[in-house]
Structure 1
Amino acid sequence: MAIRERLSGNEAVATAMKQINPDVVAAFPITPSTEVPQYFSTYVANGEVDTEFVAVESEHSAMSACIGAAAAGARVMTATSANGMGLMWEMLYIASADKLPIVMPLINRAMSGPLNIHNDHSDAMGARDSGWIQLFSEDNQEAYDNTIMAVRIGEHKDVRLPVMVCLDGFIISHSVENIELLETDKVRNFVGEPMAPFYLLDSENPVAMGPLDLPAHYFEHKREQAQSMFNAKTVIAEVFADFEKLSGRKYSYFEEYKLDDAEVAVVVLGSTAGTAKTVVDELRAQGMKVGLLKLRVFRPFPAAELAEALKHLKAVAVMDKAESFSAAGGPIFMDVRSALYDLEARPKITSYVYGLGGRDVRTTDIEKVYNELKEVAATGVVSSPYNYLGVKE
């Protein structure tokens, strides 16, 4: 029977980590992720887990310790935010290149500078091509569930990649919501025992990890790494299906909200989806055929599935809580537009960058996007493909 609780997003993630009982957690505090290792270190001190907790002097060292432990065959987790992940930058690529399934809750926060501790997605989007799987959470329940599923996904023999579990700083991390926990024994049965196919401490089958990789082999290793990301799409779907059998909660690459008969729709990820759903309901009550697609899996990017879900629409707006500085729209926008390119009849598409540095996004802001989409659908003309929502120009 599910256990009803009231937890913040950070405590929900830490609770999932406790139930998973990883071999090693190495972490360094940074707002707004600090509570995750803080809660978890309490579980260690109280003897509630068997985990070796490694207190380090920086986030670079945290990821370095995680890499060493995972290479030795351990199940490893950490947590960080924004500039902390920025200090890990070198090691993110090494973790994915060495096929080490580290799970890292990333409590999304704006990257400096200027210094800002509030939420946007610039940290995750900056690392989108680092070789990590990225799962995004709308609320505390999804953050908890994603943390559990991430272990199964990353450790699968056909994947062996690290996983970021993304949740919005303060909006999710520090807000308390009702949540349904699974029993600990069910969580441990679901994730199973760590089964590394090769590891440094296996004296019977010695291996090297992270050696110098010259032109004769580097390309092939990158191709193999890319294949693992292709494989992850299939594995993610399988893990989602198994988790539904366990919990009754259904997940997919994305959530379609009132999208079937919609004429226009917004694509968004993270906690903003909850606000957008309210707007969809209000506009539906006024007779507008509007819908929402909430991305849950950003890497690997579900391009074909997303194109199929959006192909019937007249106009689509993609909302990015990060600036790509490409002068060609936000990062999610560019991937969505690419996914739609091969459709014979493509919906018109526009980019909206919003919420940088924790700027509030209100229902009236999202309603403005839908009203502009309605105009695009009626005229077939996109007058402004690249837009900023809620900025003081």
Structure 2
Amino acid sequence: MQKFDVLNGNKAAAIGAALARPNVIAAYPITPQTPVVEYLTEFAANDEIDAAMSEVESELSAMSIVTGASLAGSRTFTATASQGLSLMYEPYFRASTLRLPIVMAVVNREMISPQSVWGGQQDSMSVRDAGWMQIYAEDNQEILDLIVQAFKIAEDKRVLLPINICYDGFYLSHMTEKVFIPEQEKVDNFLGTYKPDHILLDPKRPMAVDPLTNGDLLMEYRYKHLKGQQAALDVIEEVDRDYGQLFGRTYGGAIEEYKIDDAEYALVTTGSMTGAAKEAVDLKRAEGIRIGLIKMRMIRPFPKDRVCKALSKVKSFGVVDRNVSFGWDTGIVYQEVKSALYEGDNYVPSVPIVGGLGGEDITINMMMDSIDAIVKAAEERISSGTIWMMV
């Protein structure tokens, strides 16, 4: 039987990383990610993990360290948030285009400015097109499980790309709940030994890494990179299924569908807000409103086909975003979902909703009001303007 503990999200992430037995860990502390580094350092000091801990002077250095270590064939892990993510952008982009299976937790926090240390998904959503895979967790159990699964996804030879496991700052990072901890032996069997053969720095076999590249070769790089991302859509489904068979927990793959089979309306969420949304769905169902929910887990690559299928029969839907798409007057995931539905046969009225910025609560009542707006859009057969959840 799996043991369990009461863990905050940061410790769940650190335990998940430790279970994967990384060879090199480099991270620079930044709120609200700091405890991840502290927990891993404590594990190393107590000989609970056998990993080289690299103390760096910035997030740019942290990403550079794990990039070099991954090039040399190591399994690597790091974590960051907000301004730290923006500071490491140059090596962050390089890590994906070099096809390095680095795993990095992003503890979502608002970007400057106005100055805020509170939760918001603007940081990771802003770099969604830098070539990394991105998966968003709903709760602390999913954080731990996803960190373990992330190594399996990233290291798959059909993929070979870095991956972000993103979770909401403070709502998950600092709040505690019961979390089951997988057995080390089972994790070892699940992940296996990382044996890179696509790129490996070796003095006996000199190679040029990231040389000046002409257009034809760059086109081939980008083509294969995107094919690797698309392959990840199948790999996440396989990994989720295999993990469930071994540990008894599955999350639906690229998306989770909640009471969507007979739904007339749909609510789309990302991250920790999903708990309140599910409660609102249950309450509205009790009133006779057939509402379902789609939790977006994988944002990159975007699971277009699964989203289209899940929304194929609804009369209207709404997307709640904890971020904004500057220039669109909506949230980012709303635009992603709308783009996915463009190839569909029928017009589906939709409702863009923005809430929870700067750590504001997204309450059950707010979600119920959002559902009312979705039902109204179906009745009027027209999409609404953006609804801002403001107290």
Is TM (by shorter chain) over 0.5? yes
Q: Is the 8 A contact 1:73 1:198 kept in 2?
A: no
Q: Is the 8 A contact 1:136 1:296 kept in 2?
A: yes
RMSD: 1.3
Matched, 1:387 2:378: no
Could you tell me which residue of structure 2 aligns to residue 268 of structure 1? 269
1:116-127, aligned counterparts within 5 Å?
A: 116-127=116-127
Q: Is the 8 A contact 1:198 1:205 kept in 2?
A: no
Show structure 1 runs of 5+ residues with no match: none
1:166 aligned counterpart, secondary structure: strand
**Amino acid corresponding to residue 121 of structure 2 in structure 1:** H
**Amino acid corresponding to residue 186 of structure 2 in structure 1:** K
CA distance in structure 2 between the partners assigned to 1:283 and 1:247 by the alignment: 33
Matched, 1:172 2:144: no
CA distance in structure 2 between the partners assigned to 1:224 and 1:199 by the alignment: 15
**Shift of residue 205 of structure 1?**
4.4
1:324-335, aligned counterparts within 5 Å?
A: 324-335=325-336
2:114 aligned counterpart, secondary structure: coil
**Amino acid corresponding to residue 285 of structure 1 in structure 2:** A
Q: Is the 8 A contact 1:4 1:181 kept in 2?
A: yes
Could you tell me which residue of structure 2 aligns to residue 183 of structure 1? 183
Moved more, 61-70 or 231-240: 231-240
Q: Is the 8 A contact 2:350 2:377 kept in 1?
A: no
**Amino acid corresponding to residue 377 of structure 1 in structure 2:** A
Could you tell me which residue of structure 2 aligns to residue 35 of structure 1? 35
CA distance in structure 1 between the partners assigned to 2:376 and 2:216 by the alignment: 55
1:342 aligned counterpart, secondary structure: coil
Could you tell me which residue of structure 2 aligns to residue 106 of structure 1? 106
Q: Is the 8 A contact 1:199 1:207 kept in 2?
A: no
**Shift of residue 328 of structure 1?**
4.7
**Amino acid corresponding to residue 281 of structure 2 in structure 1:** V
**Shift of residue 290 of structure 1?**
1.1
**Shift of residue 3 of structure 1?**
1.1
1:285-324, aligned counterparts within 5 Å?
A: 285-324=286-325
**Shift of residue 203 of structure 1?**
4.7
Could you tell me which residue of structure 1 aligns to residue 152 of structure 2? 152
CA distance in structure 2 between the partners assigned to 1:55 and 1:75 by the alignment: 17
Q: Is the 8 A contact 1:66 1:76 kept in 2?
A: yes
1:2-81, aligned counterparts within 5 Å?
A: 2-81=2-81
Per-residue CA deviation, residues 280-332 of structure 1 (Å, 9 max, x unaligned), is: 11111111111111111111110011100111001110111111102252211
**Amino acid corresponding to residue 317 of structure 1 in structure 2:** G
Q: Is the 8 A contact 2:350 2:382 kept in 1?
A: no
1:65 aligned counterpart, secondary structure: helix
Moved more, 247-256 or 305-314: 247-256
Q: Is the 8 A contact 2:351 2:377 kept in 1?
A: no
Show structure 2 runs of 5+ residues with no match: none
2:354 aligned counterpart, secondary structure: strand
1:318 aligned counterpart, secondary structure: strand
Could you tell me which residue of structure 1 aligns to residue 339 of structure 2? 338
CA distance in structure 2 between the partners assigned to 1:290 and 1:200 by the alignment: 50
Moved more, 47-56 or 256-265: 256-265
**Amino acid corresponding to residue 353 of structure 1 in structure 2:** V
1:344–1:133 CA distance, 2 compared to 1 (3 A):
same
Per-residue CA deviation, residues 253-291 of structure 1 (Å, 9 max, x unaligned), is: 111111111111110110000000111111111111111
CA distance in structure 2 between the partners assigned to 1:4 and 1:44 by the alignment: 21
1:294 aligned counterpart, secondary structure: strand
**Shift of residue 12 of structure 1?**
0.7
CA distance in structure 2 between the partners assigned to 1:246 and 1:327 by the alignment: 43
TM-score, normalised relative to structure 1: 0.97
Q: Is the 8 A contact 2:101 2:163 kept in 1?
A: yes
CA distance in structure 2 between the partners assigned to 1:216 and 1:128 by the alignment: 25
Q: Is the 8 A contact 2:255 2:306 kept in 1?
A: no
Q: Is the 8 A contact 1:14 1:36 kept in 2?
A: yes
TM-score, normalised relative to structure 2: 0.97
CA distance in structure 1 between the partners assigned to 2:296 and 2:243 by the alignment: 18
1:115 aligned counterpart, secondary structure: coil
Could you tell me which residue of structure 2 aligns to residue 354 of structure 1? 355
CA distance in structure 2 between the partners assigned to 1:346 and 1:150 by the alignment: 36
Moved more, 302-311 or 209-218: 209-218
**Amino acid corresponding to residue 320 of structure 1 in structure 2:** D
Total equivalences in the alignment? 390
CA distance in structure 2 between the partners assigned to 1:264 and 1:390 by the alignment: 23
CA distance in structure 1 between the partners assigned to 2:105 and 2:307 by the alignment: 25
CA distance in structure 2 between the partners assigned to 1:379 and 1:113 by the alignment: 38
Identical positions, percent: 39
1:173 aligned counterpart, secondary structure: coil
